[in-house]
């Protein structure tokens, strides 16, 4: 009888060891998957997502920022158009002319507002309504770019009671050549 108990104990320890190794392996795999696999590598991206390269941007030749660091637009006292969102919307919609355009999608214009409320370093992104890259009619794109650059008087972003430079964007939702929404 003692030899049977020894065999049973030995087999039980082997089974427990195998089960322990399996669960340990699953635990380590789960830790890797949830903690390491989707963590970006160090220095994978050279700049922040909102970064606008002054060498590749439009209307940046004479534009001066007040500091090297440019804040995001959504800080506590964020940058706003001088006449507010309604004034911005009114200006664009009163001056935009749909010349039988059939384009649909999002025309996004990103730029920098310096600490004095002046704008520069414009970048244009074009997407369809499913947010896939696309090209808009050149004339439509140029018209909205011109209207956006005419919105030149902004209240600068304020951080810790100091006026700072910040990124901003205006996104035009267009359906069959008509502006249906202006964000933000």
Task: Write phi, then psi, for 126 (nearest 5 degrees).
Answer: -120, 130
- Count Cβ atoms below 10 Å from residue 112 Cβ, excluding itself: 24
CA angle 69, 75, 79 (to 5 degrees): 85
Dump pLDDT digits (tens) for 61-118: 788 888 888 887 666 567 788 888 899 999 999 999 999 999 999 999 999 999 999 9
Q: Is the pLDDT of residue 41 over 60?
A: no
Question: pTM to 2 decimals?
Answer: 0.70
């Amino acid at each position: 009888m003692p030899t049977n108990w020894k065999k049973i104990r030995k087999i039980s320890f082997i089974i427990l060891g195998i089960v322990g190794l399996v669960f340990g392996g699953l635990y380590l795999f789960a830790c890797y998957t949830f903690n390491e696999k989707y963590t970006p590598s160090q220095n994978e991206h050279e700049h922040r997502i909102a970064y606008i390269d002054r060498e590749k941007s439009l209307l940046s030749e004479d534009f001066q920022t007040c500091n090297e660091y440019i804040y995001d637009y959504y800080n506590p006292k964020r940058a706003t158009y001088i006449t507010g969102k309604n004034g911005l919307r009114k200006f664009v919609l009163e001056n935009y002319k749909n010349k039988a355009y059939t384009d649909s999608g999002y025309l996004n214009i990103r730029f920098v507002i310096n600490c004095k409320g002046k704008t520069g370093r414009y970048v244009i992104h074009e997407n369809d309504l499913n947010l896939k890259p696309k090209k808009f009619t050149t004339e439509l794109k140029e018209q909205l770019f011109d209207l956006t650059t005419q919105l030149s008087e902004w209240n600068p972003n304020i951080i810790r009671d100091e006026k700072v430079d910040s990124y901003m964007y205006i996104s035009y939702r267009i359906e069959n050549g008509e502006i249906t929404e202006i964000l933000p």
